[in-house]
Structure 1
Amino acid sequence: MHPQPHPRRPGRSLAGTLLVTLLTLGLSGLSAAPAPADEAVRAALPPQQPGVTQRVFDIQVPLNDLCDLKPGQTPNIDTLKPVVDWTSAADFGLDANFVTHVVGQLHAPATGAHTLRLTSDDGSRLWIDDQLVIDHGGLHGPEPKEATVDLTAGPHALRIEHFERGGGEQLTLAWKPPGASAVTLVPNSALSTDADVVRVTAPGRKECEAGTDSPGDGLPLTGVHPNYTLTDLRPPGFEPQVSAMDWLPDGRLAVTTWGGSNNTAGEVYLLSNVTGSTGPGRVTYKKIASGLKEPMGIKHVDGKLYVSQKHELTELNDTDGDEVTDQYRRVATWPFGGNFHEFGFGLLY
C-alpha cells in the first residue's frame, strides 16, 4: 500500500521508481515512424475538447537547456490554449526563467508522412506517441526545426517541452500534412486535450533535478533500504490517499485517507491480513468512518480510535458492535486558517 502524494507538495514513494532511458533521435529532417496507436487505445481516450493544455513552471533561475522537473510539483499556470503559437510573455504568463509543458492529442487527417516544424526561443523538444521526433534544445533565438513522421489517420499523443531564459520568447508548432502544399500552423481542429479536468496551480519557485539531488531533496526513492522487504498490500481497486496509520492490538491496521483540500471526504479503514505471509489477494478492508476534514493522524488508545482532523481531535465510537462509527465525539478543537501546513501531522499518545 503506497500513500498518494499530496497535490500541493512533492510526494515521496516507498516503492522504488523504475527509471527508463529512451533512445531518442531528433536531427533536422530525420524521418521517424512512431508505431500506429492501437485502435482500442484510441477508443479509450477520455472525453476531449479542442486545443492543448499549457503548463508553465516558474524556475526562477537561468537555464542553459531543458531540465527534468522534480516530480510532484504543481505548475504555476495550467490553462487551455487553442493552438501552439505563443510569442509574448502574456502568452506564457511569465517573461523569463520558466519551463513550459504542452500536452494533448495531434489528429492526423490522413495516413502518411507529416512534416512537423517546431519554432522556439529558447530550446524545445517534441514527442509524438512518446517518441522524440524533434530535439531543438539549447539557448537560441526563434529558430525553426523540422522532422518528418509517418502517422496513421487519427489521434496521436502530443508532448512538447520548452524553456525560456531571457529576452524574447516563442513556441510555435506548424505542419504540412499529406496533400498540403506548404507548412502552416497546426489548427485548433487538429488538436485536442482532456476535457472537464480540474486545473490546479500553485505559486512559488519550481525546481529541476540536479546531479547532486537525493530522495530527501524531493526525488523518489530508487530502491528499498536493504534492511527492509517491500510487500505490496493494496487490494485491486483500493487506492487510498493514505495520511496516517496505526496498529490495533489484534494485528489489524487502521488507515486514514486525506479526502481533499477544504473537503469533508476523509475516511478511516480497517485492514486485515496485513502481516506475515500475505499479499493483495489476502488483504481485506472495511470503511469504518467518513465525513472527516483532512485527517492527518490516528491512534488506538484503550479500545478506541482517535483521529486528528484539520480542526479538532475526534473520538470514533461504535455503539452497536459492527465496528462502524456511529458517534463522532469532539475531544478538543484548535483554530485553523487558510494555510494547509497549519494543522498537525501525525498523532502521538
Structure 2
Amino acid sequence: MGSQSYSQVLFLCLTVLIGLTQAQLQQGFYAKSCPKAEKIIQDFVDEHIRNAPSLAAALIRMHFHDCFVRGCDASVLLNSTSNQAERDAPPNLTLRGFSFIDSIKSLVEAECPGVVSCADIIALAARDSIVVTQKITHIYIYMLVSTITDMGLQGGPYWNVPTGRRDGTISNLVEARSSIPSPFHNLTTLQTLFANQGLDLKDLVLLSGAHTIGISHCTSFSNRLYNFTGKGDQDPDLDSEYAANLKSFKCKNINDNTTHVEMDPGSRKTFDLSYYRFVLKRRGLFQSDAALLTNSVTKSTIINLVYGSVENFFAEFGKSMEKMGQIKVKTGTQGEIRKHCALVNS
C-alpha cells in the first residue's frame, strides 16, 4: 500500500514538473519539431525587408500592439467574425504587415504543418527585421554623420526570442482600444498601461526608442499643431520652429490624414539614438514622446542613453523587447497552433 502511494505521489510530481516545463518559453523550442523554422523566417525577412525597409517599423509595432492585449498570442492577426476583433480597433487601423506574416506562415506550414505558432512568427519576424535595418542603409549615408559607430554599422539591436508561444482564440476590439498606449497619452496613463503588462518606466523609454524608425500620419499629432486644448492653440511643449516647419511642409491643416511624417527626421531607416536627441530638443512628434520629459526617471533615462553608446542602447532595448515578448504568453496546452493566422482553427 505504501509503495502504491509513493508511486502515485511520484506520478503527480512528474506531471507537475512536465507541466511547468511546458509552460516556459525556451531558446530553440522548435529544434526537434521544426528545425528549419527560425531560418525560414530569418531568410524571408532578410530578403523582403531589403526591398521594403519601412516594414521593419510596422512589424515591431504589430508585435507591440499584439502583446499589450491578452499577451503575445497573435490575437491581433484574427479577423473579425461574430464580434469585432483587435485589428479593427482604432489603434490598429494603421497596422501593416498582415500579409507579410501570412506569407511566412505559409512557408513554415509547408515545412512543418501545425507546429509553429503565429505568435512566435510575429516575435521572430519583429526581431529579425530590426537586425537587418542597418544592413540596407546605403554606404553614403554613413559618410554624412560624425561617427560610423553611432549609426550602428554593425546592424540593428539583437535580442533573444525564446519560443513556444501558442496562439490565442479570442480577439476583442474593446480590449485593444483600452489597453494599447496612444500617441496622445500623458505620462500617468502611459505608466499605468505599461505597469498593467509588468513593464516599468525604463521599459517605457526604451520601447519608445523604436520611434527611431518609421513614419506616422499627421492625424496622430496634428492636434499639437492646431488645436491642442480645443482652442485652436499649439502645444507649448513642442518646439515652435519644428512646429512651424511641420505646418508649412507636412501637415498643412488639421484634417490631413494622408501625409506621412518621419518620426526621426533624417534617420528614419536607421536604428540609432537620434530619436532621443529630438525628444530632448522638444521635437518628439507625439504627445507621448513629450511626456517622457515630464518625469524625472524617464528624463534621466533618456539623458543617460544619449550620452552613452549606441551599443548600450541596443543592449538595453533588447532586454526590454525580450521582456515585452513574454507578456502573458500562452504555452503548453493553452490556446492552439493556428493553421491560418487570421482564423481560429475549426
> Please, what TM-score do these two structures have when normalized by structure 1?
0.22
Higher share in strand = 1
> Please, what TM-score do these two structures have when normalized by structure 2?
0.22
